[in-house]
Amino acid sequence: MCVYFVFCAKIKSYIMNLRKEEHMKLNKRLEDILDILMNHEYVKIEKIVKLLNISRRTVYYDISKINDHIKKYNLEISNVRNLGYHITSEDKDKIRKVLKYSKDDYILSSEERCISIIIDLFLSLEKLTIERYCNKLLVSRNTVLNDIKNVREYISKYKLELEAKNGYKLVGSNNSKRYLFINLYNEYNYFFDEYGYMQVFEDIKSLMKEEDLNILKNTNANYILMYLAIFYKNYYVKNKDTITFKNEDKNFLDSLDSHKEVKRLLNIIRKVLNIDIDEDEVYYIQTFFTKDEDIRNYFYQNELNSKYILPVNMMVKEFEKISCISIEDYDVLSKNILNHLIPSIFKIRYGIYYLNLIKSEVKQKYKSIYQFTKQVVKTIENNLDIYLNDDEIAYIAMYFGGYSSKMGVEIKIPKIVIVCNSGMATSQLLKNQIEQLFDLIEIQDILSLKNFENYEKYYDFAITTVDLNQKQAIKVNPILTDLDKQNLLSQISNTQSVFNFEQEFINKIINGVEKYATISNKEKLREEIKNIVISSREKGKSYKATLRELLNEDTIYLNQEATNWEDAIRVSANPLKDLGYVKDSYIQAMIENVRKLGPYIVIAPKVAMPHARPEDGVNKVSMTLTTFKEEIYFSGKEQHKVKILISLAPKDNQTHIKALACLTKMLSKKENIDKILNSKDKDEVLEVINKYSR
Any idea which residues carry the catalytic annotation? 611
Number of Cβ atoms within 10 Å of the Cβ of 356:
20
> Side chain identity at 98, as an amino acid letter?
V
Output the furthest CA–CA distance in the chain (Å, rounded): 81
Output DSSP code: residue 474. E
Q: 290: which strand partners?
A: none
- In a 3-state reduction of DSSP, which class is residue 141? helix
Distances, alpha carbon 606 to alpha carbons 390, 400, 664, in Å: 27, 27, 14
Q: Are the C-beta atoms of 549 and 622 separated by less than 8 Å?
A: no
> Side chain identity at 86, as an amino acid letter?
H
Q: Shortest CA distance to 588 belongs to which of 613, 623, 558?
A: 613
Q: Are the C-beta atoms of 350 and 245 separated by less than 8 Å?
A: yes
Q: 43: which strand partners?
A: 85
Q: Are the C-beta atoms of 439 and 367 separated by less than 8 Å?
A: yes
In whole angstroms, what is the distance from residue 2 CA to residue 458 CA?
A: 52
Q: How long is the chain?
A: 694
H or E segment and range at residue 105: none
Q: Shortest CA distance to 51 belongs to which of 475, 453, 383, 404?
A: 453
Neighbouring C-alpha atoms within 13 Å toward the C-beta of 6: 4
Strands 602-604 and 556-560: unpaired
Torsion sign over Cα 438, 439, 440, 446: positive
Number of Cβ atoms within 10 Å of the Cβ of 247:
8
Q: Is 69 exposed, middle or buried (0-12, 13-18, 19+ CB in 10 A)?
A: middle
In whole angstroms, what is the distance from residue 121 CA to residue 133 CA?
A: 11
Q: Please give the span between the terminal C-alpha atoms of the chain, in angstroms, as a whole number.
A: 47
Output DSSP code: residue 438. -
Q: Are the C-beta atoms of 427 and 446 separated by less than 8 Å?
A: yes
Over the range 108-143, which residues count as b (16 or more CB within 10 Å of their CB) and which as e? beeebbbbbbbbbbbbbeeebebebbbbbbbbeeeb
Q: Are the C-beta atoms of 681 and 645 separated by less than 8 Å?
A: no
H or E segment and range at residue 37: helix 28-38
